[in-house]
Chain A
Amino acid sequence: MAVFDEELKALREMVLKLCSMVECAIRDSVNSLVERNADLAKEVIKRDHMINALDVKVDEECIRLIALRQPVAKDLRFITTAMKITTDLERMGDLAVNIAERAIELKEEHLFKPYVNIPLMAEITQGMVRDSIDAFVRGCTNIPYDVINKDDEVDDLTVKNFNELLEYMIRDPKIIPIAIKRTYVAKYLERIADHATNIAEMVIYMCKGKIIRHMESPGP
């Protein structure tokens, strides 16, 4: 059984590495937008294949462990959670690439309004990812119920961002193409937060053995 424990530890470390790569991609993509740094944006796009490769590797390892070890109880919940959350992490990586692509396009455009909401949204979503994965890695010492509430903050900021940009667009229709790209970025971050919420829900399942998705009040 010691071998199986080692394998579970290695799987945990792989997921942790994937998480840190995705966190880094989100941070760098938003920084490339705010700092108007196309090189950094290109770097995010270039690194995405590493996230994809690790996602596949985690999946393969989970399938191997299910086939060879026939896990049950907490081991089964851990492995199935690892499988599901890596799909969310990989999608977050893709969304970071989308942000980086918009960053490259927006760098050439007039900065009609400084970025305020987007860095704030990025900060919250990164925190959500970190808190979710923390419980996964540390074995349920800190169950991420708060993450689910934070998703609402990101949703509110998405709406706020859209309304502010809408005012600018009404005042100056020439900026509409640029402003729409900025609404896209907010939407990407809002989707990242949704994926972070999925991860939190799966981690809560792993810890508690209870599926809380689509529940009215998923609290402890």
Chain B
Amino acid sequence: MVEEVRDKNIFEIKDFNVYYGSFLAVKRVNLNVETHKITAIIGPSGCGKSTLLRALNRMNDLIINSWVEGQVLFKGIDIYQKDTDVIELRKRVGMVFQKPNPFPSSVYENVAYGPKIRRIKKKSQLDEIVENALVRADLWKEVKDKLNESGMSLSGGQMQRLCIARSLAQEPEVLLFDEPTSALDPISTANIENLLQELRKTITIVIVTHNMQQAARVSDLTAFMYIGELIEFGNTDTIFVNPQNKLTEEYITGRFG
């Protein structure tokens, strides 16, 4: 029974608090992230949604004074245990940021960087990983003839897909997206959204977005957060058609505050 729950939920977040110094940014959140689903986290600025997202692969560790209480179980194991290999965790739980941030190197090197760190040296193996990751990120056709050109020379949408390919080359089980399309035009946004639908077949996705229509379009489950608390969590169609909480309704209908 416990195993079944763990297969269903790749993350189980239990009574989880995140502090920045004495400031409580995420308050007693309980939330399960279902495997091979897209979970969207929405809420006004400062509600703790990015903090919660970053907690899932311990990116908050990089922020001085941040500390946590409670548990985040990744496949049943608490990622905040002392002996957690954080580098390995971030390989399995990757992250894509708001602003595309390719390395100042070639398209090829951007994608091959992670595998090289993992000591994969054989050229043919690296070539295969790079091609596979670029195909999965729906970028291969556009860049296959310019793999040696700078990753920075691509368009905004292509750069973001390059960053996704870079994450995919690590063969993650989960990808965390923090506002992945807020810097992109509608066509690039649609490309990324279509890509998310493809990726969810093989990995689990958690996305933080300010764009509620995007949350409605791409996600299976939606969590609404307000002042650090998880107010409502459920199927995306329920949240957007018939939310149960008044705060959720006020927020998504734009009548907040």
A binding-site residues for B, Cβ under 8 Å: 1, 4, 70-77, 209-210
Stretch at the interface among B69-77, B130-138, B235-243: B235-243
- What are some 7 contacts across the A-B interface (CB < 8 A)? A72-B216, A72-B241, A73-B240, A73-B242, A73-B243, A73-B249, A210-B242
Taking the closest CB of chain A, its distance from the CB of B254, in whole angstroms, is 5
Which of A4, A70, A71, A209 is within 8 Å of B242, CB to CB? A209
Contact A73 B254 (CB under 8 A): no
Closest A residue to B255 by beta carbon equals A1
B interface residues, Cβ below 8 angstroms from A = 212-213, 216, 240-243, 248-249, 252-255
Q: A72-B216, A210-B242 are in contact. List 7 more A-B contacts (CB 8 A).
A: A72-B252, A73-B242, A73-B248, A73-B252, A73-B253, A74-B253, A209-B241
When C-beta atoms are compared, the residue in chain B nearest to A76 turns out to be B241
Distance A210 CA – B243 CA, assembled complex (angstroms): 12
Instruction: Determine the chain A residues whose CB is within 8 A of the CB of B216 once the complex forms.
Output: 72
Q: Which partner residue on chain B sits nearest A210 by CB separation?
A: B242
Chain B residues near A74: list those with CB within 8 A: 249, 253
A1 and B255 CA atoms in complex are apart in Å by: 7
User: Nearest A residue to B213 by beta-carbon distance?
Assistant: A70
The complex places the Cα of A72 from the Cα of B240 at a distance, in Å, of 5
Contact A77 B241 (CB under 8 A): yes
B174 → chain A, closest Cβ, in Å? Answer: 27
In angstroms, how far is the closest chain B Cβ from the Cβ of A66? 12
When distances are taken between beta carbons in the complex, the residues of chain B under 8 Å from A4 are: 254
Q: A187: shortest Cβ distance to chain B, in Å?
A: 36
Q: For the complex of A and B, list the 9 residue pairs with the smallest distance between their C-beta atoms, beginning with the closest.
A: A209-B242, A72-B240, A73-B249, A1-B254, A72-B252, A73-B253, A75-B253, A73-B243, A73-B252
What residue in chain A is nearest B250 (Cβ atoms)?
A73
Contact partners of B240 in chain A: CB under 8 A = 72-73, 76
The complex places the Cα of A71 from the Cα of B240 at a distance, in Å, of 9
A136 to B34, CA, bound (A): 38
Contact in complex: B213, A73 (CB < 8 Å): no
Residues in A whose Cβ lies below 8 Å from that of B243 = 73
Chain A residues within 8 Å of B212, by CB:
72
With CB as the reference atom, state the residue of chain B lying closest to A70. B213
| Cα–Cα, bound, A209→B237 (Å) | 11
| Inter-chain contacts of A76 with B (CB < 8 A) | 240-241
Chain B positions within 8 Å of A71 at CB level: 253
